[in-house]
Each structure stands twice: as structure tokens, then as C-alpha cells.
Structure 1
Amino acid sequence: MKKSRSGLIMLGIVVVLYGILYVMKPDVTLDALGASLKVLKMIIPILLIVFFIMALLGTFIDEKAISKHLGEESGGKGWLLALVGGILSHGPGYVWYPLLQNLREQGAKDGLVIAFIYARAIKIPWLPLMISYFGWAFTLVYTFYVVLGAYLQGVIVERLDDKEREQ
């Protein structure tokens, strides 16, 4: 399925489901639609920022730079950038998806994208609270295992991609 059509198909499915639910329970459906519109209003500014960043990336960063830092030849530096970038990233995860898709289209490895997403589980602003509840040792072990898990999941995806390419 083409990427451009998949979004329209998903939109169509959601509209049909809302229509079916409206026939069954109009009040509940209108409440749900209202809640969805509130969420949309909340994320539009964030999405605009992400689209602006994507435009900047498309304008100022060429594919060779992406390939060098996050592509096939990125090596350890790519893993470090993905893991640290994931840890430092803030905000809801879904606002990062368009940017990450753009990076993939410009040559970033899937394993690095997975590592970035997984490493987002570490929230720097919450670390002091975690330390106060669970202590230093727990927080350090937890953080270590999240980073290790992010790396291992990225490696697994890379190996699966390699096997897929061999076929």
C-alpha cells in the first residue's frame, strides 16, 4: 500500500466507525468527537513545530550527512546519537513520528529510530523524583537497563532488516 493512500484509508475507517457509533449512541459519539477535537487543538502547535523542524532538516541537511550520522555507515556514533537523542527528547512521542519518518526517508537506519523511540522512556526531568522514591541504585540500574534495552531492540531490528534484504 502506498504511504500517501494509507493515511486516507485510515481516515476513511475512522469516519465510518464514527458514523456507525453515531447511529448506535449519538450522545457518546459526539462527546468522543469533542474530546478528539480538543486533543487535535492541543497537538496542532506541536505538529507545526515538528513540520518546521522537518523543513529545516530538508533544507539544510543533505542525505549524505544523514547517512553519515544515522545511516548504514554510522557505526557507534549513530547509536550514541540515537540513544542520547531519545533520552533528551521531550513531549509526547507521537509528535516525533513525522520527524523520524523524514529521517528514515533520508537514510536513517530503522534500528537507530527504534533505539531513539525506546530511549525516550528515560525522562530527565523525572529522574530526581525517581531517585527520591527509589534511591540512586535503583534509578541507575533502571536507566542502564532502559538504555541497554533500547540498544538491543535496535540491534534486533537491524538483524531482521538484514535478513529481509537477503531474501
Structure 2
Amino acid sequence: MKKSRSGLIMLAIVTVLYLLLYFMHPDRTMDALNESLGVLKMVLPVLLIVFFLMALLNSFIDEKAISKYLGEESGTKGWLLALVGGILSHGPGYVWYPLLQNLREQGAKDGLIIAFVYVRAIKLPWLPLMVTYFGLPFTLVYTFYVVLGAYVQGMIADKFK
């Protein structure tokens, strides 16, 4: 209930701010609102995919499976799943937050979630462009260090838990 309250409070604050701004600068406020709606249209498909994945996760995967693959006993498989999943994931990072929160609540290790978010810095569609501009050695070293950094950050987070 606390989560839904904070969301409603945030919605109320944003609505009041938009109304205040509308009375002060109606044209600029409508431009801002239209821009916000444009961003929503852009993000909505990815959000729908994430919510679909969350529904599948809740319907077909139980907490034991999540603990097995992403929990305390996940081991190397968990790290590989988090790192590869982060590299393959697309869209803005914040649309993945609800799914990651759901996984965390079902027993996924914080370190794996951190590694997933960190390694999203590698964008597969951009790697050929990176090779074109910087060369293959630079791209390979960069990719290696991002993956290594994701792993180290995740390990550090797990140590402080």
C-alpha cells in the first residue's frame, strides 16, 4: 500500500505543477505536455514487453526457480544470465526497473541485478559502429572492462549486503 501511495502522491504533485504552470505559461506548458506524451509513446512498447515478461515470470516461474538461477546459490549460471541478459536487453534502463524489482522481491541477488544494469552499457547494435570509429582492439578491451566492471560491482554489492 505504501508503494501505491507514493505513486499517487507523485502523480498529484506533477498534476498540480502542470496546472500551475498552465496558468502562468499555457503555450509552453502544452508544449511540455506534448513532449512528455511523445516520450510516453516511445517508451510504451518497451514497457508493455517488460510488463508481459513480469506477468510470465509471476505465472510460470516460481520463487524456487528464481532462487536457483538468480538467488544466493545461483553461482556461475546466475552471473552469466545477468551479464548476457543485460547485454541483450534493449530500451531505456528505467523500464526494466519494475521487472528487476519483481525479481529482487522473489529472491534474486542484488549483485546480479546491479551487474545486469551495469552491463547494459554495452549496446550490441552499436558495436559495429564502435569498431568503425575506434577499431576492434579498443572495442574488445572496452567491452571486456564493462563486463568485468559489472561483475566487480555486483560482487562488491553482495559483500556489503
Note the C-alpha offset of 1:111: 1.4
Correspondence 1:15-164 to 2 at 5 A? 15-161=15-161
Residue identity matched to 1:102: N
- The alignment status of 1:11 with 2:14, answered yes or no, reads no
Note the C-alpha offset of 1:59: 0.9
| Structure-2 residue corresponding to 1:164 | none
Residue identity matched to 2:36: S
How far, CA to CA, are the matches of 1:28 and 1:158 in structure 2?
46
Gaps of 5+ in 1: 162-167
- Give the secondary-structure state (helix, strand or coil) at the position aligned to 1:96: helix
Gaps of 5+ in 2: none
2:43 and 2:92 in contact (8 A); partners too: no
Note the C-alpha offset of 1:42: 2.6
Note the C-alpha offset of 1:30: 1.1
Note the C-alpha offset of 1:36: 0.7
Closer, same or farther in 2 for the Cα pair 1:20/1:157, shift >3 Å? farther
CA RMSD across the alignment: 1.6
Note the C-alpha offset of 1:104: 1.1
Q: Report the count of equivalent residues.
A: 161
How far, CA to CA, are the matches of 1:9 and 1:153 in structure 2?
33
Note the C-alpha offset of 1:128: 1.1
Note the C-alpha offset of 1:56: 0.9
